[in-house]
Amino acid sequence: MIRHAADLETVAALLRGEHEAFTSLVRAHQPAFLRLAQTWVRDRAAAAEVVQQAWVSALESLATFEGRSSLRTWLFGIVINAARSHVRARKRTIPLSALIAEEAIDGPSVEPDRFFQDGEWVGHWSSWPTPFPSPDNALESERLRALLEQAISALPPLQQEVMVLCDVEGLSGEETCNILGISGTNQRVLLHRARAKARALLEEKLSDKVKT
């Protein structure tokens, strides 16, 4: 078992009450925590409250952290639980199995009407993808990032969580499955669907900008 030595040191510093250790931890993870909380709690102020509650829960159970996973993975799990509990408390809960049934379904990555339906070129593009602008300067890169943020936040919650954990935060498929309590097959389908939708939404938003 890999122990996360640096994380265990951080935990020891937190248990000693070192403010610098807490400040560094918050600075490193607060943006990701807010993004994860907002997959369930759209309102930013409410999501910030959920994150604060997650920090409280994390500190309360800090002594149980054993370094089996990275501290970041452990904390992500706490944030997601806090966000789901927040939703559950407001009786708007949908069982995880129902969400999986709804979101982890196979379907085409690209709308079928983008391809020729018959004739010599059946299955080939009839409406070609428009190349995205290259994020080669800071302004363009910032604009594209903002559009992608919007596209990701428009995804259904589980797809959004999987894409945030895998593609934004760089977690492995296995870590993502452990945090979300889903199977590897469902994780792969959810990620596939999420990326395909995010690409399509980004393409749509960029073509809207061209038209206007």
Partner 1 sequence: MSEKTLDQCKEVVELVNEYLGHALTAEDRAAFEAHLATCPPCTAYLAQMKTVLNLASSLGNAASHAEVEPQLMAMFQHWHEKKSR
Whether the Cβ atoms of residue 166 and residue 178 lie closer than 8 Å to each other: no
| 10-37 as b/e: b if 16+ CB within 10 A | bbebbeeeeeebeeebeeebeebbbbbb
Rounded least distance, CB 94 to partner 1, Å: 26
Candidate residues 61, 93, 137, 141; the one interacting with partner 1 per rule CB under 8 A: 141
Rounded least distance, CB 144 to partner 1, Å: 6
Q: How far apart are CA 74 and CA 175, in angstroms?
A: 10
Minimum CB distance to partner 1 smaller for 95 or for 123: 123
- Residue 205 in contact with partner 1, rule: CB under 8 A: no
Candidate residues 8, 13, 22, 85; the one interacting with partner 1 per rule CB under 8 A: 22
Rounded least distance, CB 191 to partner 1, Å: 7
- Residue 12 in contact with partner 1, rule: CB under 8 A: no
- Residue 152 in contact with partner 1, rule: CB under 8 A: yes
Binding to partner 1, residues 36-75 (CB under 8 A): 52, 55-56, 59-60
Q: What tokens were used for 162?
A: 């999987």
- Residue 145 in contact with partner 1, rule: CB under 8 A: yes
Q: How far apart are CA 79 and CA 180, in angstroms?
A: 11
Q: How far apart are CA 103 and CA 190, in angstroms?
A: 7
